[in-house]
Structure 1
């Protein structure tokens, strides 16, 4: 793990700092990898945030996928949600920094970046069911990467789970029910940002009996169908307790006139308001 420089805050030419927790006395550890960094919360054994740089002009295609998940040797294993969390159940190891995003530059560097994404510090439990909501979330990730590649654009993408005290416990971790993503880029010479939330909590308005009945001791918590929203960047900061620096002020999403319009549920990736 030597020589990892991690996330470059000045990559866009305008400083976008690594997110940090605003709550006092919550320990975090910054772990640098190739083209990205992880802000680890040892008390939750999960990342509070990740940050990756994407150079659309220098992306490397056809890097073989290893699927070699492993602990980061720089921190204690009991600070990381390891293989025991995902064994013999319906939970996926959800990449936070997407495997393809940091895979750019010289071939050897790109291959190393690919491998770095398979550390347990860069994963969080997600429902393994594939549905339309999850397809939208993954399509959104592809939309961002494809745009960077097509227009040789640089992007910074921040991602993480929403770590709430009420998240359900399972095998020594609390399973997050929401995930967030903020994309930052330079548009017409100024910093711009958009934010998204993926919700895998059970829909208790319709599925309360089934969801609660599924809460079997020793089994993974019941999770609902994925729902993807575009949200104000400032809402992500409030949900997570993270300082997102200049990004709330660079939000491209128009302010909603009514509370019910504040979060826009996305049915397809191209519904996002990005003005790219």
Structure 2
């Protein structure tokens, strides 16, 4: 496992002959909020990872899954730029062998989208050159995971989370640290050399009255929570993408993200603003709009 120190990670990735093309990326700043929010890493040292710093964000890649276990981005709401044109092409990260990344062959001629893990606009802040580089950096395959190409209310809520939190939870200096990634489970259905994750997670950290605060979310694209998911996936057409359901977004306890992902989220479980649930069925809160988000302790 490569350590999370960005400076060492930038030049220490195996198979990185052309890695100089990505030189100078500082990556995610663990002290961006003033209080430390460490890069999420697997709790088990046996899990191999590669740490890849970009402009204002870092990806923790699992080579065995050919996609990220986690990504972490610093968002400066006061310096966000909206005038940066969208990058058009996805690319491999030259610091890593292409067969350790899920490239276009996974997404070609099917119903799967390249789902940004770090949202395109989140790291796009600072001066013009810095913002342009951040935008381009989000279009590396290492920052993508397969998602259903449907757009529904659940997915819309997921995409609005950071903007909502910037406008409400972090009114002071409008800074967020957002950790996110796919839930990589052994039972994820295989497709074209990768396993397609059925859930995604996100944890937002910010300061509230000088103290660290956090909220956590899960996006579910499994066939149906009330059906037998294994039976639904077993009925998939050979060679076709796995059947995926409509997106559902939930606010969940940060501790549940830790359990789902086996990642170390440092101080964030203790900073969770979601009230302790009174009953198991209340543990995950379905979000139908950002108005349903809970930003207070019980």
- The TM tier, using the shorter chain, reads over 0.9
Which residue number in structure 2 is paired with residue 99 of structure 1? 120
Contact 2:26 2:55 in 1 (8 A): yes
In structure 1, the gaps of 5 or more residues are none
Q: Given the superposition, is the C-alpha separation of residues 145 and 265 from structure 1 closer, same or farther in structure 2, using an over 3 Å criterion?
A: same
Q: Given the superposition, is the C-alpha separation of residues 212 and 183 from structure 1 closer, same or farther in structure 2, using an over 3 Å criterion?
A: closer
Which residue number in structure 2 is paired with residue 248 of structure 1? 269
Per the normalisation by structure 2, the TM-score is 0.88
Which residue number in structure 2 is paired with residue 116 of structure 1? 137
1:167 aligns with 2:188: yes
1:143 aligns with 2:171: no
Deviations 1:232-258 (A, max 9, x none): 001000100000000000000000010
Deviations 1:140-193 (A, max 9, x none): 233234558975411000000000000000000000000000000000110000
Contact 1:56 1:148 in 2 (8 A): no
Which residue number in structure 2 is paired with residue 82 of structure 1? 103
Q: Given the superposition, is the C-alpha separation of residues 210 and 135 from structure 1 closer, same or farther in structure 2, using an over 3 Å criterion?
A: farther
Tell me, what secondary structure is at the counterpart of 2:270? Answer: helix
Per the normalisation by structure 1, the TM-score is 0.95
Tell me, what secondary structure is at the counterpart of 2:78? Answer: helix
1:23 aligns with 2:47: no
In structure 2, the gaps of 5 or more residues are 1-21
Which residue number in structure 2 is paired with residue 271 of structure 1? 292
* Higher normalized contact order (CA 8 Å, seq sep 6+, divided by chain length): 1
| 1:1-276 superposed matches below 5 A | 1-147=22-168, 152-203=173-224, 205-206=226-227, 211-212=232-233, 215-275=236-296
Tell me, what secondary structure is at the counterpart of 2:178? Answer: strand
Tell me, what secondary structure is at the counterpart of 1:58? Answer: coil
Contact 1:6 1:32 in 2 (8 A): yes
Deviations 1:208-249 (A, max 9, x none): 799458600000000001111000001000100000000000
CA RMSD of aligned residues (A): 2.0
> Using the alignment, how far apart are the partners of 1:252 and 1:205 within structure 2?
28
Contact 2:170 2:206 in 1 (8 A): no
Contact 1:54 1:148 in 2 (8 A): no
Tell me, what secondary structure is at the counterpart of 2:239? Answer: coil
Q: Given the superposition, is the C-alpha separation of residues 209 and 43 from structure 1 closer, same or farther in structure 2, using an over 3 Å criterion?
A: closer
> Using the alignment, how far apart are the partners of 2:230 and 2:265 within structure 1?
38
